[in-house]
């Protein structure tokens, strides 16, 4: 029996490894507020924690900022995957670590992080230059009528289409799908993950539907619009407007299918544009902002990153100075021309250098302006899961659109009741 005991101990360890990371956070202090102007006298060191520096601009920002003033900035690179970045930040914040002063946050984390009192209130900093930002981007930094972050870079999807197959881009989704059915189809992000939530919401917002009420307390997804959109998407796959394969596609697979000439339309982020200009269809595609659906207006869903100041920062003045630098007109132009990250400031898009790097700059600003944030709630991950799981089931034909919509409502209701 000795073997049994040793074995079971080892097993126990292994089986529970996944559970080892829970923490009991006992933190209920008041929210800290950043006063504007204090950043002028800031000194000392600050650390910026954000995802992997794939474009080199994060480290460049740190270097340039440090060379200019009294504050020295340092970069900590988190993993490339947004979910992993969140895990890493949550672990640090739970432990009240002061390691990160400035946090690079995916726009969907604001409500959750703010609700946990992990961020400092930057409403006064925002108020000083509120008109600089594209209004929709500021919505991603807002929770319970206060601003918790400064929008750093934004993002909004486009419809890519083949100019050699489609005369002019259709102005409504129904026409996009019927053209797609005649041509080589439309590809989008239909795998069971966050991306599908975004793809579904773009259609839902365009149709005039909503997920939550404005106060975020009641679920309004069980609308005729939602059923209609879901039926539209499911029929699209069944009737061949979209290949069945889209139910496994994320951004990259869609991009590969479109750029290799296998699809007439694609829904994707702006980053594909420059890749497309190096592909074999370089001269045969263009982009357009989202078309209308039913009686609604074209609408997208906002992506991007905001920069926030950690509640545990030991140098909030320095952190504010760095966050202001990151969102300054100069630096915003740099990220757009050098890293192809869409700026959150309205004026950046009028800059000739930016327009040279982004021939579609004005279209991009329009796409951002008409885009809406994803549901703002501290339980966003659960809400999103409820959406992409049930939408996926409907796309697979496992559930009828109206049943899937009801299930979505039930699941989101449950999520909102989370303790």
Partner 1 sequence: MEAATVARPRRRGSGLSERRLAAAMVSPSLIVIALVAAYPIGYAIWLSLHEYSVRVPGLSRWAALKNYDTALSSSEFWEALRNTFLFTGISVTIELVLGIAFALAMHQAFKGRAVLRATVLVPWAVLTFGSGLLWRSIFEPDLGFANSMLSALGLPGGDIVWLGTEGYAMAVMIFADVWKTAPFMALLLLAGLQVIPDDVYDAAKVDGASAWQRFMSITLPLLKPAILVALLFRTLDALRVFDLPFALTQGANGTNTLSLHAYQELTANRLVGLGSALSVLTFLIVMVVSFMYIRFVGGNIRGLADER
Q: How many CB atoms lie within 10 A of CB 304?
A: 22
Contact residues for 144 (Cβ-Cβ < 8 A; gap 6+)? 114
Q: Is 385 in the site for partner 1 (CB under 8 A)?
A: yes
Phi, psi angle pair for 252, to nearest 5°: -70, -40
Q: Is 2 in the site for partner 1 (CB under 8 A)?
A: no
Among 82, 245, 281, 357, binds partner 1 (CB under 8 A): 245
Kindly state the smallest distance separating residue 104's Cβ from partner 1, in Å: 19
Burial class for 51, CB neighbours closer than 10 Å (0-12, 13-18, 19+): buried
Residues in region 158-177 near partner 1 by CB under 8 A: none
Which CB sits closer to partner 1, 11 or 362?
11
Kindly state the smallest distance separating residue 179's Cβ from partner 1, in Å: 20
β-partners of residue 143 are 146
| DSSP H or E stretch at residue 341 | none
Interface mask (CB under 8 A) for partner 1, residues 254-273, using x and -? --xx--x-x-----------
Kindly state the smallest distance separating residue 83's Cβ from partner 1, in Å: 7
Q: Is 192 in the site for partner 1 (CB under 8 A)?
A: yes
Which CB sits closer to partner 1, 210 or 256?
256
> Which one of 12-20, 143-151, 165-173, 344-352 is the stretch in contact with partner 1 (CB under 8 A)?
12-20
Kindly state the smallest distance separating residue 329's Cβ from partner 1, in Å: 36
How many Å is the maximal CA-CA distance in the chain?
77
Tokens (6 digits) for 40: 């002028």
Q: Is 82 in the site for partner 1 (CB under 8 A)?
A: no
Q: Is 32 in the site for partner 1 (CB under 8 A)?
A: no
Query: Considering only CA atoms, which of 369, 372, 375, 370 is closest in space to residue 388?
Result: 375
Kindly state the smallest distance separating residue 285's Cβ from partner 1, in Å: 18
* Cα 199 to Cα 197: distance, rounded to the nearest angstrom: 6
Query: Considering only CA atoms, which of 144, 419, 170, 119 is closest in space to residue 293?
Result: 170
Q: Is 248 in the site for partner 1 (CB under 8 A)?
A: yes
Kindly state the smallest distance separating residue 366's Cβ from partner 1, in Å: 32
3 state SS of 306: strand
Kindly state the smallest distance separating residue 278's Cβ from partner 1, in Å: 18
Kindly state the smallest distance separating residue 231's Cβ from partner 1, in Å: 20
Tokens (6 digits) for 314: 């030991």
* Cα 156 to Cα 105: distance, rounded to the nearest angstrom: 16
Please report the beta strands in 256-393, taking only residues with DSSP state E, as ranges in sequence order. Answer: 265-268, 285-288, 303-309
Among 253, 284, 369, 402, binds partner 1 (CB under 8 A): 253
Q: Is 417 in the site for partner 1 (CB under 8 A)?
A: no
Query: Considering only CA atoms, which of 275, 297, 307 is closest in space to residue 369?
Result: 297
Q: Is 295 in the site for partner 1 (CB under 8 A)?
A: no
Radius of gyration of the chain (CA): 23
Q: Would you tell me which residues interact with partner 1 (CB under 8 A)?
A: 3-4, 7-28, 83, 87, 90, 112, 115-118, 191-193, 243-245, 247-248, 253, 256-257, 260, 262, 378-379, 381-382, 385, 392, 396, 418-419
């Amino acid at each position: 029996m000795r073997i049994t005991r040793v074995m079971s101990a080892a097993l126990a360890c292994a089986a529970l490894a996944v559970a080892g990371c829970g923490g009991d956070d006992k933190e209920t202090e008041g929210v800290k507020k950043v006063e504007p102007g204090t950043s002028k006298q800031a000194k000392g060191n600050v650390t910026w924690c954000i995802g992997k520096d794939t474009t080199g601009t994060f480290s460049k920002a740190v270097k340039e900022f440090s060379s200019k003033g009294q504050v020295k900035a340092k970069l900590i690179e988190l993993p490339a995957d947004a979910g992993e970045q969140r895990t890493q930040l949550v672990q640090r914040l739970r432990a009240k670590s002061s390691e990160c002063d400035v946090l690079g946050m995916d726009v969907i984390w604001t409500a959750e992080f703010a609700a946990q009192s992990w961020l400092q209130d930057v409403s006064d900093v925002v108020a000083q230059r509120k008109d600089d930002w594209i209004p929709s981007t500021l919505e991603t930094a807002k929770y319970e009528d206060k601003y918790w972050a400064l929008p750093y870079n934004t993002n909004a999807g486009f419809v890519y289409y083949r100019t050699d197959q489609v005369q002019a881009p259709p102005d409504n989704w129904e026409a996009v799908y019927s053209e797609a059915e005649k041509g080589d189809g439309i590809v989008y992000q239909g795998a069971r993950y966050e991306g599908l939530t975004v793809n579904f919401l773009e259609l839902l917002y365009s149709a005039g539907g909503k997920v939550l009420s404005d106060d975020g307390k009641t679920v309004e997804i069980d609308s005729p619009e939602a059923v209609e959109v879901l039926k539209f998407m499911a029929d699209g796959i069944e009737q061949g407007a979209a290949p069945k394969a889209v139910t496994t596609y994320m951004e990259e697979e869609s991009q590969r299918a479109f750029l290799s000439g296998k699809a007439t339309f694609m829904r994707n982020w702006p980053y594909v544009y420059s890749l497309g200009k190096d592909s074999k269809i370089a001269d045969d595609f263009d982009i357009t902002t989202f078309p209308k659906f039913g009686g609604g207006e074209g609408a997208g869903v906002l992506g991007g990153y905001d920069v926030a100041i950690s509640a545990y920062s030991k140098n909030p003045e320095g952190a504010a100075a760095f966050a202001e630098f990151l969102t300054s007109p100069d630096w915003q132009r740099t990220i757009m021309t050098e890293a192809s990250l869409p700026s959150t400031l309205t004026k950046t898009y009028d800059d000739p250098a930016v327009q040279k790097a982004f021939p579609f700059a004005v279209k991009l600003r329009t796409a951002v302006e008409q885009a809406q944030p994803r549901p703002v709630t501290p339980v966003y991950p659960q809400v999103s899961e409820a959406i992409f799981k049930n939408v996926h089931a409907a796309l697979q034909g496992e559930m009828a659109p109206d049943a899937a919509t009801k299930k979505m409502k039930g699941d989101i209701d449950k999520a909102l009741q989370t303790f």
